[in-house]
Amino acid sequence: MGHVIIDAAVTIDGFWADSNGESVYPLDEMKKAGLTDTLVKRIGAAVWSQRSFEMADDPDWFACNYELQVPLHVVTQAPPAEHPKEACGLTFTFHSAFDEAIAQALASSGEKDVLIVGETSAVEAALRSGKVDEIYLRVIPRVIGAGVRLLGEGALAQDYRINDVVQTPSAVHLHFVR
C-alpha cells in the first residue's frame, strides 16, 4: 500500500490563504521547477476538499486537463447535481466524511500513494487520522498578517524528520517523512 501525503503551502506567518480566500500556493512556480512531476508520478488517488473541487469554474475541465488523472475522492456535504466528466483515468467519488474518503482513496490507489489536496479542513482531518506518512510544505516568504491559517488545534501529535529541502525564487519546499 502506498503512502498518504499532504502537499500544502503557508506564508511565514502560517496562512494558506489570504483574507480574500486566495491560496498562497505557488503552483506555477512548482511546475516550472519540475516539483510537481515527482508527485504526479507517485500518486494513484487523491482526497480533495470541496473547495479544491470548486477551484475550476467548470468541473468537467479536470478530465484530461488536471495534472493528476487518478481517482479523486471529494469530501463534501453538497455533491454537484450533475456528476462531472470522467476521462483519461480521472474519476470522481463524493464522500460526506474524510475517513470514508481516505479509506476509498487508499483502496483505489493500488500500490501508489494518496495525495491530500486542500485547505485547513483537509489537512487537519488528514493529520487527525494519523495516516499521514509524508508532508510537502511550501513556505512562502511573505507575511500577510491575516487570512486562513493552515493548522488550528486538534491535530494528533506526530513527529516527522526533514527528508529534503529545495529552494526556488518564491518558496522553500520542505519534505518531511515519518
Mean model confidence pLDDT for the chain: 89
Q: pLDDT per residue over 90-148, tens digit each?
A: 999 999 999 999 999 999 999 999 999 878 888 889 998 889 999 999 999 999 999 98
Closest CA to 75 of 107, 99, 56, 45: 99
Cell numbers at 86, concatenated: 470522467
CATH numbers and ranges of domains, the chain = 4-177 (3.40.430.10)
What is the value of pTM for the model shown?
A: 0.90
pLDDT for 109: 96
d(CA 46, CA 57): 20
Q: Which residues contact 90 (CB under 8 A, 6 or more apart)?
A: 62, 63, 64, 66, 68, 69, 70, 71, 72
